[in-house]
């Protein structure tokens, strides 16, 4: 009889851990979060208004203090500290020599569990295998969110990007 009680207790503990893990995933999850096309395209339009000079290797680091308020978009200062978990709203942009704009918007920062967001590009992005993987790819975008999963391309201009290498 004591063995049966121990097994029931063990199963209850395992169930509690699984339920707790599911609750944490539901609350904090991983992944890019929402893809709200209208809001993200408004950010791209705002960056486009900045008239970035063409430069294949130059990138501009911006910050969107409130993802729903385009007026909060500003250039990040060198003194702006970054804390893991507080990267939501970071934006990187680059205009190529031929005038194509590429913008990366970080929509979720899970600290050491990864950073997630979306990349927009006027021109096509080429995904190349990352470290020989057949599931993970790298795209040439500004900022540190340059990894994409096999199904990471949303459409001709948008990609779901991440960096979970920390």
- What per-residue string of b and e applies to 69-88 under the rule 16 or more CB within 10 Å gives b? eeeebeeeeeeeeeeeeebb
Q: Do 74 and 3 reside in the same domain of the chain?
A: no
Please tell me whether residues 18 and 75 are part of one structural domain: no
Regarding whether 40 and 21 lie in a shared domain, the answer is no
- Claim to verify: residue 107 and residue 77 sit in the same structural domain: yes
| Together in a domain, 24 and 97 | no
- What proportion of the chain, given as a percentage, has pLDDT over 90? 63
Residue 111 sits in the same domain as residue 154: yes
Same domain, 3 and 80: no
Distance of CA 90 to the CA centre of its chain: 9
Is there a single domain that holds both residue 79 and residue 109?
A: yes
Determine whether 14 is exposed, middle or buried from the number of CB atoms within 10 Å of its CB (0-12, 13-18, 19+).
exposed
For 47, the domain range is 35-163
**Distance (Å, rounded) from C-alpha 159 to C-alpha 153?**
4
On whether both 23 and 74 belong to a single domain, the answer is no
Same domain, 84 and 141: yes
Contact residues for 22 (Cβ-Cβ < 8 A; gap 6+): none
- pLDDT band per the 50, 70, 90 thresholds, residue 30: very low
| 87-135: pLDDT as tens digits | 899 999 999 999 999 999 999 999 888 999 999 999 999 999 999 989 9
Closest by CA to 142, choosing from 66, 80, 85, 76, is 76
Together in a domain, 104 and 118: yes
Q: What pTM, to 2 d.p., does this model score?
A: 0.79
- Segment among 4-13, 64-73, 117-126 with least mean pLDDT: 4-13
Whether 102 and 39 map to the same domain: the answer is yes
Measure the CA angle with vertex 73, ends 142 and 71; round to 5°.
155
CA distance 117 to 78: 22
Instruction: Report the domain count for the chain.
Output: 2
CB neighbour list of residue 119: distance below 8 Å, 6 or more residues apart: 102, 103, 104, 105, 125, 139, 141, 145, 158, 159, 161
């Amino acid at each position: 009889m004591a063995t049966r009680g121990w097994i029931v207790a063990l199963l209850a503990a395992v169930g509690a851990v699984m339920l707790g893990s599911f609750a944490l995933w539901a609350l904090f999850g991983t992944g890019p979060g929402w893809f709200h096309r209208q809001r993200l395209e408004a950010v791209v339009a705002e960056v486009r208004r900045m008239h970035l000079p063409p430069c294949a290797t130059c990138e501009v680091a911006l910050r969107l203090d409130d993802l729903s308020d385009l007026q909060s978009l500003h250039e990040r200062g060198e003194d702006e500290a970054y804390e893991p978990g507080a990267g939501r709203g970071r934006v990187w942009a680059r205009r190529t020599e031929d005038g194509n704009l590429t913008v990366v918007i970080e929509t979720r920062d899970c600290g050491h569990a990864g950073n997630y967001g979306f990349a927009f590009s006027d021109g096509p992005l080429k995904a190349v295998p990352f470290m020989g993987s057949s599931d993970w790819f790298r795209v040439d975008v500004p900022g540190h969110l340059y990894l994409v999963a096999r199904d990471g391309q949303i459409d001709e201009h948008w990609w779901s990007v991440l960096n979970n290498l920390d």
